[in-house]
Amino acid sequence: MAEADGKVAFELVSPERLLISKPVEMVVVPGDEGDFGVLPGHAPLISELRSWVLEVYDAGQVSERVFVAGGFAEVTAERCTVLAEEAVALAEASAADAEARLKRAEQAVDDARDEDERAPAEAERARAQALVEALAYYGAGR
* Rounded distance between C-alpha atoms, residue 127 and residue 133, angstroms: 10
Is pLDDT above 70 for 142?
no
Let me know the angle formed at the C-alpha of 95 by 92 and 101, rounded to the nearest 5 degrees.
100
Cα–Cα dist 55/91, whole Å: 12
- pTM confidence score: 0.91
Between the alpha carbon of residue 83 and those of residues 16, 64, 71, 90, 119, the distances in Å are 11, 17, 5, 17, 22
CATH (one of 2.60.40.10, 3.40.50.880, 2.60.15.10, 1.10.3470.10) for 3-91: 2.60.15.10
* pLDDT per residue as tens digits for the range 68-103: 999 999 999 999 999 999 999 999 999 999 999 999
